[in-house]
Structure 1
Amino acid sequence: MYQIRTDLALETQEKMQEDKVELKGVRFSEEHVSKNLTISTVVIETENGAKAMEKPKGTYITIEASNMDEEDEDYHREISEQLARVLKQLISVKKEDVSVLIVGLGNRAVTPDALGPRVVDNLYITRHIINEYGKYAFGKEHVNRVSSIVPGVMAQTGMESMEIVNGIVKETKPDVVIAIDALAARNTKRLNRTIQVTDTGINPGSGVGNHRHGLNEKSIGVPVIAIGVPTVVDAATIVNDTMFNLITAMNQSSELKTLGNTLGELNETEKYELIRELLSPNLNTMFVTPKDIDESVKRLSFTISEGLNIALIDHNIFA
């Protein structure tokens, strides 16, 4: 069966609700922060819940902002502040001075995949200054040690991102790792308008189906917080959305209503099979991104980096 894939736990939960699947061991809550800003939380508590959701146990917090792709500094500042609040909620390390390694996953040369590296470009890095001059160089009693790395992709380095990060973790011994990566969405309306934060880590390359070794606490020995933004959808999503709109339009036409009813009677399996036949063999590996992705990634990278800077530098959220 051809699966329409998504990296967002929120979308998986929604799909389960649509299919009327009873999810045991999964909790869901929603908070409307403002008119155009919603924070949803999916907590997978049991192994059965993880199996049903096809995602690791843990907490998945999704910040949805319908105007995230617009140029509004005050609005993006609000998103950054909410991201800082979410990070405080997920990071379990409770120390006055915390060592944080931030990993910008992705390929800088491919715009939809450049989010991680561009976030790192805008971070306020402190570890080298503290090592050289001490924390009092900042005029504060407590300062978090922030370091960063952009490991590139396997085609550039010949190494898994996990291997590179694991070596750095063993050498620098951070208390927590925060990884940023691009994701894939099921709903085109969520492209560049959604930030998912989770305490389960991440699989580099998962956004386009290139599953590499996971970057998580089990693989590198320290807690891993993952921040992701969907920047692409696969072709199957476009076809599925188009089919739904086509059936709706047909049902409103007297001439095409019979055909619309026939297509509407297809179950999910039959629809997936039809989509697979339509996509094969040339389109089933195609991913689509908006035409203004360069501006969107630039804007989002500033928003996420500001959230990280607020959390790690402006306020000591861990103490």
Structure 2
Amino acid sequence: MSKVIRSFEASHQWLSINTATVRRQWTLDRIIDECARREIRAISPWRDQVQAAGLQATARQLRAHGMQLSGYCRGGFFPAADEAGLRAALDDNRHAIDEAMTLGAPCLVLVVGSLPGALNGQPAYTSLARARSEVRDGIAATLAHARQVGLPLAIEPLHPMQAAERACVNTLAQALDLCDELDPQRSGALGVALDAYHVWWDPQLQAQIERAGRERLLAYHVCDWLTPTRDLLNDRGMMGDGVIELRQLRGWVEAAGYRGFAEVEIFSEHWWQRPGEDVLDTCIARHRSVV
């Protein structure tokens, strides 16, 4: 494995912006234009933003700017209270795959889901084992369509604080176990989206990144963990404002063979209140100095 980490200091050519980072300030078409103006050459948009802007209109705008995607957010949320819900989740994920293909995304990011109804405070059941089984079956079923059209799926393990509501896959090891079971040939059809915010704490992280290797590392997301964290969902930090050893983490990821974008994904009430121009300019500066 290579031990040489890419230098980002002179350029932000490997910066991507997850569009959630400035979703409160701008609509998607404005986000694309503002990124292009700053020579940010990749984004990762969210499905609701694409729906609001129009799928075909978004595809045309991306092509006009020569802009790439680093991923598409998101598929997943497979568990459900009944068979009808499970079928609906599979249908929705097929639609997400088709949208991602239209936009030229390199992968569909999966936030796999957990206890159905928990986000609304009314879980239909409380068995994580059942949720994890439904996630496994849902990914397996979705993978068939993804293989058919040639779009990789990227499982994103989420921090354990979100194990009940958003994702019952909470470590990189869990995600890779699913990859090894469902794609033992390491074909590139199934891998992981590694988000620094969710995995930085894991004592097995370096070893699991090595285990993932180039074939499984499909996306890499960065932000920072603030101390104290005031909100478990919407208080992510700008890179360099928290405690994550981001340069070390990227070193591990690149040593394992990753050479894609470092995608900034910041859910933050603080940064959503700042002018979008300031947010993007700060992302560029921190990408060069910290990431």
TM-score, normalisation: structure 1: 0.30
**Greater Rg, structure 1 or structure 2?**
1
More strand per residue: 1
